[in-house]
């Protein structure tokens, strides 16, 4: 990726503008108080997402590469750093919801200030810096998904069950019985190809060995999950990993997150009937694993999933296009609706090297205690997905749009 | 208190209106996000205070005694109950800051709805119900003080150090050395007289025995507290109660709350110089007790303090008159500036009986694990104070305007 | 207490020897492992009690007042200090159960070493030092009671339900309905008289005012407590203090400690039938308070109890005489069987002053967050009790032999 | 493993007897109190290990396959089950140290009872049941290692620094600079071969792809670790995984477990000088990973390590032969001295299936949140090791003899 033409810079500017606009669109319906909700330490307020994504561009692009850039407010550097140790101290994560100031309007002004400076600077930036902008776009897309899932978690705490927006009614859609597709056997390649954007953790592309297996043609549905519940599986320890069973008991888990006992679910559109034909969502790795065991199957490995998806078009499927509420819908494809838990821990690929400097903290330091998810969800901005993408969360996390696609030995 | 004339009802209506207005004035400068801050579980958002005080009138007066009253929103009954078990389930206290809805505007509408209904109902209410209104006024005054102290705690979490409003500069004021006033010796009476409003816990009036003692003519100042710090007293276990020493070590306490190491303090007016002549504030019972031991003195008992204050006018002193920021100021009298910790546990007076019904939960059930504070602070609405008043907080609480007036055996 | 004759020293030596012997007798039936059990941080192993009481004499008498005394093992000073800050660092309380060494035999050797040195030193000690020995005897008596209650708590954790020793069968004993005795009204004196041993916190003797009241002729029985349970009182918040209700819910309390749901109780003699006629034991202050409220009564104040007990002989009643298991028995008197919770917080008496030096840490620094218990229990060494005695525990503590004697306004 | 000759049964009986004897030898020097130490919830008392290994044989062999067997004590089934959900309720793990009864002598009697019954039953057991005995031997060997490491953790809590036994002085031994061995590249096989004992998790044997790499000829030494400390690496976040850095800060980690700041270390032989030439031990995965990053290397994957070790004799090296204290020593080989952390999460091999029934809980349910360790330590019973062995612990665990062997890309 040594050189880039100016027209490439122009395309990047368009994508940057579209991404920046989408963030504002996502936050548009929120009140100051909505935008400041932090339901638990790992979820951040929407306003914080708007600010932190701006901090990224200000810090890694403008401060470092636009010599005459003047920061909008020096104090924001401390406030809106997420976890970059190399960038110094930062505001404590569990206290993001206590930042009633700066106001949403001030954060929007900051965004405009940074966007303007970026637009002015871009024509003169070298390729390596343009890559940082591309990284910033992808970073902001990740935070767009988090903005929606964190917001859902925040609104879910309110007994008034406020809706972020209006969702269309579930389509009347019948789902057929699960069918199985043959997986490839033998040596395959996974990881991102050279050229084109990918996160560092997706490289190097490398050989893996696939053993004989099959992979489900569609994700597990809400309807199937209801059978798992009805079968008493949440109280049968033989189905669970030891850590999972401890978690189920301690947290008193009896259903996916946001499910109510009466057949309804809380969504970004408020409370509504569970759509039996839609993929189950908001389940932990532990639940996905227990379900697979119950079903006589298992989770796919990351390599199996990636090989399976290598022919699919990541621009298709039910992904995020505009501001407003989203929910997994029946049908769908390989990408979209729900992220799919794999049996693989999030660990470095052979030959992976953490980059120098603060940007090197992006992915590598999280390679511990997390499981890989593949695909994309209804909250993933379209264009952000690819087969080599490695999403990751701790095994008990449920507030993302996380589901499960089964595999089995052949 | 068997009968009340209509003119009494008219006076009550005026006081009710003034109290209700003051709450709105206090909240006026706040953004939606400011009004929703909950810095820790025991502190509530300003919006919640506006709502809960309204809940009190709607529940105990309008619902129970105004037959045709229609609640503004049935769901608010669950949301804004504080701790009344007899009123059923309620929203979890630590999650009050997650209620981005109802909005501040909706809460204001609710307030107007209730105020209107109260105004309409009052002329026809019997005396016993008017007493509930008087209780509601006093209840709201307590929450006005909490609104300010909880807000201060919330803003203090923000590294931007936002000010709630503008405070005038500290007056140039010299404080002389501490002098001692003789306390009365022998049998004295404490507790509220019959007639006139008082909380249940202030009654019955009863005899106590006072041993020979003296009481300080003024509270301990910030200047004196600085000497306590400079003397290494926060690291000298021999000055502390065992629980206090455990608290100092676990919480790493080295100064009053909101003090910075550089001679400044965070206030409702933002950060400013500590005023050496003003009474020290934001100290725990443990700190007050350790200071007294260091000073060769002790805390006054509740009875000593109350007898001492029996001749003072509780309408005087630096108390709350209007919306806007407050801070303890030099000078002052018996009431105002800071609450004063006593050596007395908050326990029932001889013959105390908890009232029947939900209102009976007001005070009696908290008579465990708390210490009595006397007087009033700069955040106490003027008119709310009297010598028999029994404020109470756990011994480690610091976010109120709490100070110390010394006593000693004579 | 300025001078003491030599014959007084002789009497003291006899009492010292008897007390030291009783401790060994109490520990005699224990294995090394039994003697090292620490079921929770506030309970200590029996071996630790044997050692710590020895530490007290070695430190405050021999080290300070017997010039040629050589400590048995210098390292024990750190290991067996309980909470005396002035004596320097000490081994962490929650880790006492991890001291498998020194062995029980080594601790017994240490005891013999110290006993011998005390016997040799005593004839030449001045009166003030003999008072320290008297304090040491009383200190050891307190630990004898704790040895039994901590041991009970430790054995109770074992599903094998091991008995410390054999208890005689419950006597067949009928208890009549509760009767009430008139309490004194007006000014009375409480606190320890001058002369004779008392802990510092029992002084100065001082006047109190007693309001008209009655006090129950006997403690509440297990039979009466069963009615409290059957009446659903553990799930009725209106009976409980707010802290008590939080405790009941969090700890899932449904009966006194050591009660099983089948009418049996775990005791130092193993599991056995609950004796309905015996005083209820192992209840918290919160439970005592809730029971009293349910019974239309209240707890006595410390002053009421002490005045009531002023004519009773504290050498009578069911108290501890020899090694072996104990349990509250029907009948009994003012002293013995169970400690009785009062409505009074453990706070200093008027004019109380903490003594200088390490011994001054004995009582004063615990005057926070605790409630007073009066009387004595079946585990209190006979001779240790008196009406002015102030036992104290936090309101949720239940592992002592704690019961309740009711009072009511007259 | 379909059939076994009687002579095989005889060999098994010899191995069984030797293993059972070693457990007793390991516990021989312990007092009742030593044998009951539980320093933290994941470490068990030595007496519990003696009992639980006996429980395993009584439950899975004698109860299920020796028809006339009478359990020694029915209650032990509940007390000494570790984690087998299918075997019903069990005693809470954190409370194992509270079982002062049964005594060590009773547990020894139980062992004898079970050993006798096993000896009597074995000649008539079918091959499948003999396999359970082989599993029981291997299970007991694992607990022998835990007995030593848990005991070390327990004794380490005692400020008297008691020795479990006497260790010979460190040999005077010089260690040369680290050299690197070439690893194999391409497809290799890992996992246990058919025939011969292996745990279920070691199968199926399967192909893996090895990328070009080198592996260190010896583990990292204490001397090298001292440089890591001296280089300030425990306070440099850029060297650590995010979880590791959080752990270092929260637990205030500054050196391997049992290291004192003065160049000494606590061992099973008491406190002694750190032997610079010996492999570093008692480090977490996080520390191993940070050290590797600092050294410009990385941890080997499980496959790299296993392929590297495939030619080494697992009977060699410094492993456990008899009762008494152990410590890693300079020199050594592939097996022995310290377990070696790998970069691989403990996850199922392709085609792995959890066995039916309670024995199926042996390994599979722990495949979450743990990292693989390879090799063997000085506390691993000789004969228990093999290249395919998969030891596993959570990434923060340090109380095993855990060290690190580096790898790097070639």
Residues A51-90 pLDDT 10s? 999 999 999 999 999 999 999 999 999 999 998 888 888 9
pLDDT at C340 over 70: yes
What residues contact A328, with CB distance under 8 A and at least 6 apart?
A278, A279, A281, A318, A337, A338, A377, A378, A401, A403
C197-245 pLDDT, tens per residue? 999 999 999 999 999 999 999 999 999 999 999 999 999 999 999 999 9
pTM above 0.80, yes or no: yes
Residue C184 distance to chain B (closest CA, Å): 14
CB contact under 8 A, B100 and A75: no
Triad A75, A76, A77: Cα angle to 5°: 90
- Candidates B184, B189, B273, B276; CA nearest to B230 is B276
Nearest-by-CA chain D residue for A366: D242
Quote the radius of gyration of chain C (alpha carbons, Å).
21
Q: How far apart are CA D239 and CA D229, in angstroms?
A: 12
CB contact under 8 A, D155 and C37: no
Confidence of residue D3 (pLDDT cuts 50, 70, 90): very low
**Weakest mean pLDDT among A5-14, A22-31, C282-291, D24-33:** A5-14
D18 pLDDT above the threshold of 90: yes
Mutate which: C78, C98, C110, C161, vs D, most D CBs within 10 A: C98
In this model, does residue D277 exceed pLDDT 60?
yes
How far apart, in whole angstroms, are the C-alpha atoms of residue A155 and residue A138?
26
* Interface contact flag, D241 A85, Cβ < 8 Å: no
CB contact under 8 A, C32 and D37: no
Position C4 confidence tier, pLDDT thresholds 50, 70, 90 = very low
**Neighbors of chain A by Cβ distance (3+ pairs < 8 Å):** B, D
Cβ separation B238–C85 shorter than 8 A: yes
Give chain D positions within 8 Å (CB) of A351.
211, 409
User: How many Å lie between the alpha carbon of C110 and the closest alpha carbon of chain D?
Assistant: 15
Q: Is residue C383 within 8 Å of residue C265, measured between CB atoms? A: no
Q: Do the Cβ atoms of B100 and A159 come within 8 Å?
A: no
Enter the CATH code of domain A6-156.
1.20.120
Per-residue pLDDT at D6 exceeds 70 = no
Contacts of C366 in chain B (CB under 8 A): 241-242
Say if the Cβ atoms of D368 and A85 lie within 8 Å.
Answer: no
* Nearest beta carbon to residue B211 from set C187, C206, C366: C206
Question: What stretch of H or E contains A392?
Answer: strand A391-393
Q: Where in chain C is the domain with CATH 1.20.120?
A: 6-155
D33: its two tokens:
């109190």
Q: Which residues of C touch D33 (CB under 8 A)?
A: 32-33, 35-36, 47, 100-101, 103-104
CATH topology of domain A180-409: 3.90.1580
Taking phi first (over 0 means left), then psi (-120 to 50 degrees means alpha), and beta for anything else, what does residue A213 get? beta
Average pLDDT of every residue of chain A: 94
Q: Which residue has the higher pLDDT, D177 or B255?
A: B255
Instruction: Identify which of D171, D137, D165 has the alpha carbon closest to the alpha carbon of residue D57.
Output: D137
pLDDT greater than 90 at residue B355: no
What pLDDT sits at residue C88? 87
Q: What angle do CA A318, A324, A329 make, to 5 degrees?
A: 30
Q: Please check the confidence at residue D115 and state whether its pLDDT lies above 70.
A: yes
Residue with tokens 């004035």, as numbered in its chain:
B25
Contact between C101 and D37 using a beta-carbon 8 Å cutoff: no
Q: Distances in Å between the alpha carbon of D122 and those of D17, D20, D22, D59?
A: 12, 15, 20, 15
Residue pair A338/A405 in contact by the 8 Å Cβ criterion: no
Looking at residue A3, its pLDDT comes to: 45
Q: Which residues of A touch D344 (CB under 8 A)?
A: 347
B409: nearest CB among C207, C351, C365: C351
For residue D1, pLDDT beyond 70: no
> How confident is the prediction for chain C on average, in pLDDT?
94
Which residues of chain C does D266 touch, with a Cβ-Cβ cutoff of 8 Å?
Answer: none
The pLDDT score that the predictor gives to residue C86 is: 87
Return d(Cα C105, Cα C115) in angstroms, integer.
15
Q: What percent of chain D has pLDDT above 70? A: 98
Residue D207, beta-bridge partner list: D189
Report helix, strand or coil for D167. coil
Please answer yes or no on whether B365 and C241 come within 8 Å at the CB atom: yes
Strand, coil or helix: B181: strand
In this prediction, residue A356 carries a pLDDT of 73
pLDDT tens-place string over residues B191-248: 998 888 999 999 999 999 999 999 999 999 999 999 999 999 999 999 999 999 999 9
Query: Mean pLDDT across the stretch A37-53?
Result: 98
| Cβ contact C367–B211 (<8 Å) | no
**CA-wise closest residue to C146 among C279, C37, C222:** C37
Residue in C154, C159, C162 to test binding to D, most D beta-carbons within 10 Å: C159
* H, E, C per residue of B20-82: HHHHHHHHCCCCCCHHHCCCCCCCCCHHHHHHHHHHHHHHHHHHHHCCCCCCCCCCHHHHCCC
**Mean pLDDT to the nearest integer, C286-315:** 97
Distance from CA of B410 to the nearest CA of C (A): 9
* Neighboring chain D residues of A301 at a CB cutoff of 8 Å: 350
Residue D95 token pair: 């409370």
Q: What is the mean pLDDT of residues A165-185?
A: 88
**Taking 70 as the threshold, does the pLDDT of residue D356 lie above it?**
yes
HSE (side-chain half, CA atoms, 13 Å) at B346:
26
Query: Among D34, D100, D154, whose Cβ lies nearest the Cβ of C158?
Result: D100
Which two three-digit tokens encode residue C176?
Answer: 């009549």
- pLDDT band of residue C332 (cuts 50, 70, 90) is low
Chain B nearest CA to C237, separation (Å)? 7
Query: How buried is C144 (Cβ within 10 angstroms: 0-12 exposed, 13-18 middle, 19+ buried)?
Result: buried
More confident residue, B320 or B8: B320
Whole-number pLDDT of residue B332: 67
Smallest CA–CA distance from A30 into chain B, residue: B100
Question: Residue B2: which pLDDT band, with cuts at 50, 70 and 90?
Answer: very low
D199 — pLDDT class (breaks 50, 70, 90):
very high
Of B169 and C298, more confident = C298
Do D290 and D240 meet the contact criterion of CB atoms below 8 Å apart?
A: yes
Find the closest chain C residue to B188 by CA distance.
C209
- What average pLDDT does this structure show over A349-373? 87
Q: Residues of A at the D interface (Cβ-Cβ below 8 Å)?
A: 83, 85-86, 187, 206-209, 211, 237-238, 240-245, 285-286, 289, 293, 301, 343-345, 347-348, 350-351, 354, 365-369, 395, 409
pLDDT score, position C195: 83
A contacts of B35 (beta carbons < 8 Å)? 33
Q: Kindly determine whether residue A158 and residue B101, on different chains, have CB atoms separated by under 8 Å.
A: yes
Measured CB to CB, residues of chain C less than 8 Å from chain D are 31-37, 39, 47, 75, 78-79, 91, 95, 97-104, 154-155, 157-160, 162
Contacts of C35 in chain D (CB under 8 A): 33
Q: Of B360 and C202, which is predicted with more confidence?
A: C202
- The minimum CA-CA distance between C64 and chain B, rounded to whole Å, is 20
C361 within 8 A of C86, measured Cβ to Cβ:
yes
Pairing of strands A339-345, A213-216: unpaired
Every domain of chain A with CATH number 1.20.120 lies at 6-156
Looking at residue B1, its pLDDT comes to: 37
Distance between CA atoms of D99 and D84, rounded to whole angstroms?
19
Protein fold of C6-155 = 1.20.120
According to DSSP, residue B333 is labeled -
pLDDT digits (tens, 9 = 90+) for B294-304: 999 999 999 99
Cβ within 8 Å, pair C103-D33 = yes
Is the pair B, D in contact (3+ CB pairs within 8 Å)?
Answer: no
Indicate the pLDDT class of residue B6, thresholds 50, 70 and 90: low
For residue C186, the cross-strand partners are: C210
Confidence of residue B4 (pLDDT cuts 50, 70, 90): very low
Q: Are C45 and C38 in contact (CB under 8 A)?
A: yes
What's residue C172's pLDDT? 67
> In B191-236, which residue ranges form alpha helices assigned H by DSSP?
222-230
Question: What's the pLDDT at C109?
Answer: 98
Say whether A75 and B158 touch across the interface (CB within 8 A).
Answer: no
Cis peptide bond upstream of D204, omega within 30: yes
CB contacts of B95 in chain A (<8 Å) are 157
């Amino acid at each position: 990726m040594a050189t880039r033409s100016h027209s490439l810079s122009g395309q990047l500017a368009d994508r940057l503008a579209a991404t920046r606009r989408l963030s504002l669109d996502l936050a548009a319906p929120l009140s100051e108080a909505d935008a400041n909700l932090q339901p638990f330490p790992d979820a951040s307020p929407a306003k914080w997402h708007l600010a932190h994504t701006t901090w990224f561009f200000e810090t890694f692009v403008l401060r470092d590469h636009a010599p005459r850039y003047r920061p909008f407010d020096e104090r924001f550097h401390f406030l809106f750093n997420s976890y970059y140790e190399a960038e110094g101290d930062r505001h404590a994560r569990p206290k993001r919801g206590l930042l009633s100031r700066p106001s949403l309007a001030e954060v929007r002004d900051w965004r405009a200030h940074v966007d303007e400076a970026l637009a002015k600077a871009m024509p003169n930036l070298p390729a390596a810096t343009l890559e940082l902008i591309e990284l910033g776009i992808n970073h902001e897309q990740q935070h767009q998904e988090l903005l929606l899932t964190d917001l859902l978690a925040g609104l879910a705490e309110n007994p008034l069950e406020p809706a972020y927006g209006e969702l269309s009614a579930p389509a009347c859609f019948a789902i057929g019985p699960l069918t199985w597709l043959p997986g490839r056997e033998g040596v395959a390649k996974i990881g991102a190809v050279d050229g084109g954007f990918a996160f560092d953790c997706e490289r190097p592309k490398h050989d893996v060995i696939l053993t004989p297996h099959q992979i489900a043609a569609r994700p597990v549905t809400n309807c199937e999950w209801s059978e798992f519940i009805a079968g008493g599986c949440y109280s049968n320890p033989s189905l669970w990993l030891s850590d999972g069973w401890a978690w189920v008991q301690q947290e008193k888990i009896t259903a996916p997150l946001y499910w109510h006992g009466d057949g309804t679910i809380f969504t970004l559109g408020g409370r509504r009937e569970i759509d039996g034909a839609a993929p189950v969502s908001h389940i932990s790795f532990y639940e996905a694993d227990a379900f697979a065991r119950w079903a006589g199957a298992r989770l796919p490995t990351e390599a199996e999933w990636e090989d399976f998806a290598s022919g699919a078009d990541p621009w298709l499927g039910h992904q995020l296009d505009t501001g407003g509420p989203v929910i997994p819908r029946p049908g769908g494809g390989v990408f979209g609706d729900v992220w799919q838990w794999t049996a693989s821990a999030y660990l470095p690929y052979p030959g992976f090297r953490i980059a120098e400097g603060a940007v090197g903290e992006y992915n590598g330091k999280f390679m511990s205690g997390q499981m890989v998810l593949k695909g994309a969800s209804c909250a993933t901005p379209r264009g952000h997905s690819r087969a080599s993408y490695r999403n990751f969360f701790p095994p008990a996390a449920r507030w993302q749009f996380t589901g499960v696609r089964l595999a089995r030995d052949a």
